[in-house]
Amino acid sequence: MTQFSIVVPTLNESENIDLLLTRIFALNIPFDKFEVIFVDDGSNDGTPEKIRTWQKYSNIHLIERHGKPDLATSILQGAGAARSDIIVVMDADLSHPHEQLNALVTPILKDQYDVVIGSRYIKGGRTLDWPFYRRLLSRVGGWLARPFCDVSDATSGFFAFRRELAATVSEQAHGYKILLEILMANDSTLRIKEIPICFRDRAYGTSKLSFPHQLAYLQRLLTLAGGKVSRNTAGRFAIVGLLGVVVDTLVFQWMISRDAGLALAHFVSFFFAVSVNYALNSKWAFNEHHTGHLQWLQFSRFLIVGALALLLRGGVLALFVYVGHVPPSLAIFPAIIATAFINYLGSAFYVFPAEKNPPSSNMRWRVAALGVVLFCILLRLIYLGLAQLIPDEAYYWQYAQHMDLSFYDHPPMVAWLIWMGTAILGNNEAGVRVGAFICSLIAMGYLYAYAKNLHDKATALRTLMIFSVLPLGFASGFFMTPDAPLVAAWIATLYFMERALVADQRSAWLGMGVAFGLGLLSKYTLSLLGLAALVFVIIDAGARRWIWRSHPYLAVTLALIIFSPVLIWNFQHEWVSFMFQSTRHVSNDGQFSVHYLLIYIMILLTPVGFVAAMQILFSRNYRDMGVSQHMLKDRKRLFVQIVTGVPFFIFLVFSIFDHPKFHWTGPVWLAVLPTIAWMIGQTGNLEKFTKWLQKAWRPTIGACMFAYALILHYVVLGIPGAPYHLFTEHYFWRETTREVEQIVEEVRQLTGQEPVIVGMSKWSIASSLYFYNHARGNLDIRSRNLFGDSGAMYNFWFPAQYPINRPIIQVGMKPVHLEQIREGDNLKQMLIHPDEIKYRNIYRNGIFLRQIYYRISAGLH
Ligand code: GDD
Ligand code: MN
């Protein structure tokens, strides 16, 4: 009985036929076990004749085609003619190692796998003699396919598969990548094995791979991913888009010429352009099958994509105008290009997706994940240098101006990162924040690996989506606070911890030691994860044996060495920072705050994320959620529950007695994200509640993206019609600093003395003034520690010395902040000749922002 059929497509390969068949026959596989089917596409160099000379052997067959040559359909035709159930595809030009035919076929014969791929891009695989550009092309092609299928070499031409899979390939398939068609049409349902091969460049004849094939590859890739991309639609979309560009620029220029302001001008011009676009796109460009109903759904999706594109392009516009100093009338063009890009992808995949052969829900989630992750990265990248610093960031920036081994209220990592960022990009918002951005990329790398180890690659991709879009992930990757490096280190620690404790990998302890040490340098909270590891080791029998081995202890030692700067600093400073961390919590008023804790978690995770996390944390078995298949191994489930549950429990107990800060539990939820993402992708017979939760994710994700884009646009460019003074008491310090500089100048004129400015808060006002005055550097700024209160690091940088016989300018966000720090205070007594409290209005481009309160005195007793 024929066990497998080798399908060999040929197009002008006459010199290779003899060699190929000789080599195959030399393998000494019994003749009745296999057949070779050549599929020739009208070669004119005598290839068919060559093959016919071999047809004396009953297992050599030739199919001759005379239409337009196409590799994919040739292979399908060959598979259709096969007499066996296993198809091996192989090039005729001796590029593929015939010795590995058996290795390719055997796993399928044994029914262990459905597809076996001869892979160049896994360990042991190689490509010989290919010129650089071919390698590069092949690599790029491979990387593009990565998010959509879980193999390393999706473009290999040497692979074996079950014949029935040929039926799953779309009739539209064409071009070179038949393997990709099979993989993507059966997303996540196949058992796939990759074996390393060495690919050799052909010795005779020439390659037939051409540029149109590469275009076809791209087009098929996008189509298989669910996008509506034919040459037709792309061309029409481009024409419509061009028309939109014309409308957009004309209206924009007109608005600008009438002094409308950037935000209003680009909103209005966008609105006009988009109306034209939508009308034409739905009627013409994407309209292959017109379905009268459901237009409203389409339209609302169009609005979502449009809104996201609009809010992002505001950032591009601002970047060119404010940072690049390009005139608005030119800056609108790159902004439009960015919009067009988002609009096109959004239209092709989301607004007008393919109706024929719709992709599986798993595939749709992959595409969605990719889109969401890229959008969130782009949004951050564009806005991170535009949005002004929040006071916390200004304070940590000031850490970096006084570089040290550690600091009073936080370990030093945040300062080191800001120091590096500003050394490269300068003392501006981008320099401060770039470290947070990079931390989030590192976090995503480890999160992907962690999720892949717990579940699978499609889940890992969704995990990145959840991470990018939840406030916890988005904010920690934008603001430069200790949480940015903490989140990265927390995930890295989790990743290594799972490898060490669950997968039993000795070498993972090394990584764990490093990640844990770096994490402790970021924020002490990470120690809770260490505690969780301990609990897991005690509970889990498999992990318990690590107690008797040296690795964990070496890891702890390593972490301590990395952490040593903090120890040294504290040793030099009478252990103040540890005292501060341990006493500040107990000394408070002992209020029951569990409800606050829960509300804060709902902010960090969104309500839907909160419910999902609790569901996973407290279910004893995922079957409770109605998921029976692909059940997580019990140990993995236990791991996730403990590394989430233990730190959560500690915060919970804490909140019974005291008020937690809202971001404290943030990193705790990282461990559970993969399981949340996994639940999102489950299909089949699910519990009602689980199904409802799955559905709720879509609006949640959309709302989050919209909210971030809206807020960023609002603080950078404004939203036409929306006032500023609603939430800006703590923000807009650039404009506020200008106003304070004015006040100082007036006092200088009046008194002839250099005044001392006292920010009437612990550090936020002083630091913000510092940062935004930095370029001028002409203010003498202190914090409220001058009034006997703690100013955190200000106590070290600027210890209070009395009396002060220079003018004092107190600056505060509220009048009461200038009068008292604690109830019953009377700060006025300490001042020499205090004036009345006054205020100034702060404006930004003529729009009212906020007020700032101040009082001038002659000095401080
Ligand atoms: N029937 C038929 N019709 N056969 C064709 C056609 C066609 O239109 N085009 C090419 N072939 C045959 C060739 O005769 C050869 O046997 C095999 O398909 C591969 O073609 P090459 O032209 O040698 O392709 P390549 O070496 O550049 O590309 C190889 O590596 C790629 C990986 O980057 C192939 O294995 C590709 O499938 C693979 O994707
Ligand atoms: Mn070749």
Q: 322 and 406 share a domain?
A: no
Q: What is the pLDDT of residue 661?
A: 86
Whether pLDDT at 609 is above 90: yes
- Give the number of the ligand closest to the Cα of residue 157: 1
Q: What is the mean pLDDT of residues 219-232?
A: 83
Q: 488 and 605 share a domain?
A: yes
Query: How far is the centre of ligand 1, averaged over its atoms, from the C-alpha of 144 (Å)?
Result: 20
Q: What is the mean pLDDT of residues 650-666?
A: 89
Whether pLDDT at 288 is above 70: no
**pLDDT category, 287, cuts 50, 70, 90?**
low
Q: End of a domain among 223, 256, 272?
A: 223
Query: How far is the centre of ligand 1, averaged over its atoms, from the C-alpha of 23 (Å)?
Result: 19
Q: pLDDT tens across 42-74, in order?
A: 999 999 999 999 999 999 999 999 999 999 999
Q: pLDDT tens across 37-46, in order?
A: 999 999 999 9
Q: Is the CB of 11 under 6 A from ligand 1?
A: yes
Whether pLDDT at 628 is above 50: no
Top-confidence residue, 83 or 284:
83
Task: Out of 235-244, 403-412, 650-659, 816-825, give the one with best mean pLDDT.
Answer: 403-412
Q: 486 and 597 share a domain?
A: yes
* pLDDT, mean over the chain: 91
Q: Say if 438 falls within a structural domain.
A: yes
Whether pLDDT at 608 is above 50: yes
Residue % of the chain over a pLDDT of 70: 96
Q: What is the mean pLDDT of residues 660-669?
A: 90
Which ligand 1 atom is at minimum distance from the Cα of 93?
Answer: 16
Top-confidence residue, 276 or 764:
764
Query: How far is the centre of ligand 2, averaged over its atoms, from the C-alpha of 202 (Å)?
Result: 6
| Cα torsion through 719, 725, 730, 734, rounded to 10 | 70
Q: End of a domain among 298, 328, 357?
A: 357
Top-confidence residue, 419 or 260:
419
Q: Say if 581 falls within a structural domain.
A: no
Q: 128 and 172 share a domain?
A: yes
Query: How far is the centre of ligand 2, averaged over its atoms, from the C-alpha of 181 (Å)?
Result: 20
Q: Is the CB of 807 under 6 A from ligand 1?
A: no
Which ligand 1 atom is at minimum distance from the Cα of 137?
Answer: 33
Tokens found for residue 117: 């791929």
Q: Are 808 and 801 in contact (CB under 8 A)?
A: no
Tokens found for residue 291: 């379905």
Sequence-distant (≥ 6) Cβ neighbours of residue 347 within 8 angstroms: 228, 237, 281, 286, 302, 305
Q: Is the CB of 92 under 6 A from ligand 1?
A: yes
Q: pLDDT tens across 441-462, in order?
A: 999 999 999 999 999 899 999 9
Cβ neighbourhood burial of 528 (10 Å; 0-12, 13-18, 19+): buried
Alpha-carbon span 422 to 416, nearest angstrom: 10
Q: Kindly report the CATH number assigned to the domain that includes residue 118.
A: 3.90.550.10
Q: 655 and 794 share a domain?
A: no
Q: Say if 337 falls within a structural domain.
A: yes
Q: 487 and 627 share a domain?
A: yes
Q: What is the pLDDT of residue 690?
A: 86
Q: 173 and 31 share a domain?
A: yes
**pLDDT category, 667, cuts 50, 70, 90?**
very high
Q: Say if 679 falls within a structural domain.
A: yes
Q: What is the mean pLDDT of residues 196-212?
A: 90
Whether pLDDT at 728 is above 80: no
Q: What is the pLDDT of residue 727?
A: 66
Q: 243 and 134 share a domain?
A: no
Q: pLDDT tens across 697-715, in order?
A: 999 999 999 999 999 999 9
Q: What is the pLDDT of residue 585?
A: 56
Q: 518 and 662 share a domain?
A: yes
Q: pLDDT tens across 512-535, in order?
A: 999 999 999 999 999 999 999 999
Whether pLDDT at 295 is above 80: no
Alpha-carbon span 61 to 78, nearest angstrom: 10
Q: What is the pLDDT of residue 626?
A: 46
Q: 692 and 813 share a domain?
A: no
Q: 432 and 502 share a domain?
A: yes
- Structural domain tally of the chain? 4
Q: Are 603 and 474 in contact (CB under 8 A)?
A: no
Whether pLDDT at 675 is above 90: yes
Alpha-carbon span 732 to 726, nearest angstrom: 12
Q: Say if 710 falls within a structural domain.
A: no
Query: How far is the centre of ligand 1, averaged over its atoms, from the C-alpha of 367 (Å)?
Result: 29
Q: Count the neighbouring beta carbons within 10 Å of the beta carbon of residue 750.
A: 11
Q: What is the mean pLDDT of residues 342-363?
A: 83
Q: pLDDT tens across 792-817, in order?
A: 899 999 998 888 999 999 999 999 99
Residue of 555, 477, 467, 564 lying closest to 514 (CA atoms): 555
- Residue of 71, 153, 178 to test ligand 1 pocket, by largest number of atoms within 8 Å of CB: 71
Which ligand 1 atom is at minimum distance from the Cα of 158?
Answer: 35
Which residue in this structure is represented by tokens 């992959």? Answer: 366
Q: pLDDT tens across 562-576, in order?
A: 999 999 999 998 888
Q: Say if 726 falls within a structural domain.
A: no
**pLDDT category, 748, cuts 50, 70, 90?**
very high
Q: What is the mean pLDDT of residues 304-323?
A: 94
Whether pLDDT at 289 is above 80: no
Q: What is the pLDDT of residue 629?
A: 43
Whether pLDDT at 725 is above 60: yes
Q: Is the CB of 593 under 6 A from ligand 1?
A: no
Q: What is the mean pLDDT of residues 576-601?
A: 77
Q: End of a domain among 191, 223, 255?
A: 223
Q: 277 and 133 share a domain?
A: no
Domain residues for 196?
A: 4-223
Strand 781-783 to strand 126-128: parallel, antiparallel, or no bridges (unpaired)? unpaired
Which ligand 1 atom is at minimum distance from the Cα of 12?
Answer: 14
Q: Say if 717 falls within a structural domain.
A: no
Q: Say if 157 falls within a structural domain.
A: yes
Q: Whose CA is nearest to atom 21 of ligand 1?
A: 207
Q: What is the pLDDT of residue 291?
A: 55
- Give the number of the ligand closest to the Cα of residue 127: 1
Whether pLDDT at 627 is above 80: no
Q: Are 766 and 818 in contact (CB under 8 A)?
A: no
Q: Is the CB of 224 under 6 A from ligand 1?
A: no
Q: What is the 3-state secondary structure (H, E, C) of 124-179?
A: CCEEECCCHHHHHHHHHHHHHHHHHCCCCCCCCCCEEEEHHHHHHCCCCCCCCCHH
**pLDDT category, 723, cuts 50, 70, 90?**
confident
Task: Out of 89-93, 224-228, 821-825, give the one with best mean pLDDT.
Answer: 89-93
Q: What is the mean pLDDT of residues 275-293?
A: 68
Tokens found for residue 810: 């107190």
Tokens found for residue 280: 């034409």
Q: What is the pLDDT of residue 275?
A: 84
- Residue of 91, 153, 183, 201 to test ligand 1 pocket, by largest number of atoms within 8 Å of CB: 91
